[in-house]
Amino acid sequence: MVRAPPGPDRPGQVRVYTTNPGKVREIRALLEPRGIRVAWSRRRLVEIQGDSLEEVARSKLNSVSPRPGELSLVEDSGLFIHSLGGFPGVYSAYAYRTLGLAGVLRLVRGRDRSATFRCVVGVRQGPEVLLARGAVTGSLARTARGTLGFGFDPIFIPRGCSESFAEMPADVKNRYSHRGRAFRALLRALPAAFP
């Protein structure tokens, strides 16, 4: 793989704060081919129960202490099921822990199964903060399928695809996913935000 060297419009290193190794795998596949090194702090940041992914991402960013020459990066994602008024949305981690995949599938039995995954990624350098968003719409599978990925991947099929996210390797999932879209938007906005 050809790696572009860091340039004036690209940071050399970002530090990702998450406890989720699946997210780190996907973030590396998105940033490293662009010549951006990804350092990982597996530290659990204090997470508020906010009303929006943006609010949660901003509060996580405020709780990190950026190191000189490094961008701090956090992201917050959620699964918004249309027929449930957007639930679990910002409560996705809680729904995953308490209901599990089978519990979420039970909630949509007999209902419209369309859903949107949303991601907000935020970076901070000193006091400056930049947020970018990405979303993908699809439908919930009837049963869990696939063993790759994490979280709700086995039950989410992006529109236009026949495979669930858990049946796609990280680089293929990134082409369609909320995270892939949010990171591509972030990379487009970075040069103007941190010139």
Give the footprint of ligand IMP on this chain (CB under 6 A). 20, 76-79, 92-93, 96, 149-153, 165, 177, 179
Toward ligand IMP, which CB reaches closer, 118 or 124?
118
Cα dist from 71 to 35, 36, 106, whole Å: 14, 10, 41
CA distance 38 to 28: 6
Q: Is the dihedral of CA 81, 96, 169, 191 positive or negative?
A: positive
* Residue 122 beta carbon to ligand IMP: minimum distance, rounded to whole angstroms: 12
DSSP state of 164: -
CA distance 148 to 100: 16
Minimum distance from CB of 91 to ligand IMP (Å)?
9
Cα(88)–Cα(150) distance, integer angstroms: 16
User: Smallest distance, Å, CB 177 to ligand IMP?
Assistant: 6
Distance of closest approach, residue 68 Cβ to ligand IMP, in angstroms:
27
Residue 35 vs 146, nearer CB to ligand IMP: 146
Q: Which two tokens stand for residue 5?
A: 């060297």
User: In the complex with ligand IMP, which residue's Cβ is closer, 115 or 190?
Assistant: 115
Please indicate whether residue 76 is annotated as part of the active site. Answer: yes
Which residue's C-beta sits nearest to ligand IMP?
Answer: 151
* Set 9, 76, 112, 171: catalytic member: 76
Residue number with CB closer to ligand IMP (8 or 160): 160
d(CA 21, CA 24): 5
Active-site residues, by number, are 76
